[in-house]
Amino acid sequence: MKRRLARLSSAVVMATLLAMASQSAIAGKLQIDDPWTPEAPPGRMMAGFMTLTNHGDVSIELVDAQSPLFERVEIHTMIMDDGVMRMRRLEQLTIEPGQSVALEPGGKHLMLMRPRESLAEGDEIPITLIDSNEDRHELISTVRPRATR
Ligand SMILES: [Cu+2]
């Protein structure tokens, strides 16, 4: 009897979890928090930092990025190569369901290459992240002084 009750309540829990899961599938979106870009000397490439959270129930694979203010945007990671940190282009950045991935100084980042105009503190950079389903995720990255976040 006790065991049957336990089984019943776990069925209720399961139904609740399923209801919650289908809700986030409807939301199904990539949450993008706190996008920012450190100031850089005019003409130099810049970085894009942010936190990406996958609220859906399938993984999101970012494969490309664009900005009207830069000729080219790549997804980069940092690797240790012979004791030296180097940047390397990522063909794709995967965010698993329920997981967050931080793009942050010293780690993964967007590389904003060949600026079309010079950008200063407070300027806003529209950026589009494109996933493997060709869904586009828009964000605005704010230029901030290099030393602060
Ligand atoms: Cu880079």
Does the pTM exceed 0.85? no
Under-70 pLDDT residues of the chain:
1-28, 148-149
Q: How do 109-115 and 70-81 pair as beta strands?
A: antiparallel
**Non-local CB neighbours of 142 within 8 Å, separated by 6+ positions:** 35, 36, 37, 122, 123, 124, 125
pLDDT of residue 22: 43
pLDDT of residue 9: 60
pLDDT of residue 12: 59
What ranges do the domains of the chain cover?
A: 29-144
Instruction: Please state which CATH class domain 29-144 belongs to.
Output: mainly beta
pLDDT of residue 29: 85
CA 120 to centroid of ligand 1, rounded, Å: 19
Closest C-alpha to 63, from 74, 79, 51: 74
CA 11 to centroid of ligand 1, rounded, Å: 48
